[in-house]
Structure 1
């Protein structure tokens, strides 16, 4: 890790967030939401990416090796882990399920770590994990392009899809294709790019294929900006989508609402909005919003989940590792702290 990176992260006030992530990492590599708490594979990767940006490579490698060790024969992971695990590692309080976007996000993390470190050997070590995770996700792709949300305990997919989850999968397929390109797996690369093309077309043009069996998720901010964050929309369509949602989701001086109709801003969603704005060239506005977020830290400088501005209280009273991870990723996107800084602000890899 260079001194410049250290100084830049320190200047952003992000060292406490990074220390919090490492304190919550178990000896087997799993990064919990907070010490002794639960975990999930997507947020685990988000935190691991922050470690890679900071040059904490040993901790990041342990995080990715945990995924390789925990992955099932079908390429999937349980949706939740940690607190009160059963004998299979799943969070015992939940119905066992395997969510496609959570299982596949290892591809984004693996590619991100490679961009930060240029460690081709470790990328090759992770290849079987990435290959099998994306194969699992692609097996759940409908003929109309969307990828089903989850597979239940009976092994059958739940035949409905989430905009935000599919946008995340779109990014996972892009990163998987980039990994395949570096490692010379041409057939996998072509297969994943084709699946990505069909998925992107569904997100952009087939709103009828999402939220068919449950209440629409459009009130959630992630449905608003994730197609931009993950590169499904670029250029003017992306800018127009963000512009159209500001009045509904953005609370001036506070951050991004998690849900449009609740008086609650959350740091992680705000950070992801910051990256989305940077991706469409709205860097000045992105920096402004990012600066608001440091009022939502504790005395140590660790981020709370968010702030309920009608009750004027931090809610819930948790400091998730993935919130700090999102803050590190946003600072990287704004300042170019690492070689992976443009992972979400450039629509490539292709």
Structure 2
């Protein structure tokens, strides 16, 4: 069980895993909180934390939900409420993330049968996602499911996450003996866009995810990644409290802080990563779960919810820092594939 000395104990991480498991529905879905919405991306992040904390059966039930709810074209609706589809449209990043979760669960468990069983789901999803790629390498963010009209904007955070997902998808394919040439090419061209033509994406917003996600997803590492983090550090980091979700608001959030921990760990900046993980333990509830955020100007938790994915992000950060599970490097070890498709 992951543990970070002086920050969070193995017993505490185990309790967080149990808190996530308690939020799981009979269908295998992992909603934001009991009675809340389920989206395909946060569902997978929560499943990853279950894998790390020893809830393998519950994690596989979550992947079973993903397998059953995938549509014939390889997509998932953006939002469910229970078994009801609330938003039927397609988010390319949401659909891609299945590859990250499946590869992570395989790394943690070594379960060949699981990887083979999930292959058709991953294959359909990533093939669909590749249809969202523009000629400049960036991925369109969404599609109207009823008309099949794609929205042309390419978002920084979503594309960085897709970069990570493509890397995991290629690893899955290679492990199973497939030749994922299309996916490898898509990954390389997207990596080139981040490295040489980052202006093809929508301009960075005031949300912290647009700041650190290109590092977290593996598109920018080394000196370039370190410089990117340094550029807006003072804008987002609140000493002793975590990081702001939005730059101009006095609101720190546990999930974004934990993701920055993972990004810093990937850069080798373990000391600051550990300090940041320690800084959000004020969000921990006695039942092991984590509150979503804190408005530090008045000391009030907001929203007043203990989100499944916030707890999951903390678990994944603790696992990365402690090098505990066999999947602890899922964010750190993104391969920097050689770019061979320049100026296209």
Same fold by TM-score greater than 0.5? yes
In structure 1, the partner of 2:151 is 158
1:347 CA drift (Å): 2.6
1:30 CA drift (Å): 0.7
- Is 1:45 the counterpart of 2:44? The answer is yes
Structure 1 gap ranges (5+): none
In structure 2, the partner of 1:147 is 139
In structure 2, the partner of 1:208 is 199
1:141-166 alpha-carbon deviations (Å, 9 max, x no partner): 10111111011131111111110000
Instruction: State how far apart, in whole Å, the 1-side matches of 2:23 and 2:10 are.
Output: 23
Of 189, 201, 226, the residue aligned with 2:213 is 226
User: Could you tell me whether the CA contact under 8 Å between 1:24 and 1:35 is conserved in 2?
Assistant: yes
1:188-241 alpha-carbon deviations (Å, 9 max, x no partner): 2x2111101111222333343222xxxx54211111111101110111111111
Of 186, 200, 211, the residue aligned with 1:195 is 186
Instruction: State how far apart, in whole Å, the 1-side matches of 2:270 and 2:154 are.
Output: 31
TM-score (norm 2): 0.93
Instruction: State how far apart, in whole Å, the 1-side matches of 2:173 and 2:78 are.
Output: 25
- Is 1:324 the counterpart of 2:316? The answer is no
1:239-278 alpha-carbon deviations (Å, 9 max, x no partner): 1111112111101111011011111000000000001111
1:131 CA drift (Å): 0.5
Write the mapping of 1:17-96 to structure 2, written as runs, cut at 5 A: 17-83=16-82, 85-86=83-84, 90-91=85-86, 94=87, 96=88
Q: CA RMSD in A?
A: 1.6
User: Could you tell me whether the CA contact under 8 Å between 1:234 and 1:347 is conserved in 2?
Assistant: no
Structure 2 gap ranges (5+): 338-344
- Is 1:264 the counterpart of 2:251? The answer is yes
In structure 2, the partner of 1:117 is 109
Of 291, 296, 311, the residue aligned with 2:283 is 296
User: Could you tell me whether the CA contact under 8 Å between 1:17 and 1:321 is conserved in 2?
Assistant: no
TM-score (norm 1): 0.91
- Is 1:133 the counterpart of 2:120? The answer is no
Instruction: State how far apart, in whole Å, the 2-side matches of 1:336 and 1:41 are.
Output: 27
Query: May I ask how many residue pairs the two structures share in their alignment?
Result: 333
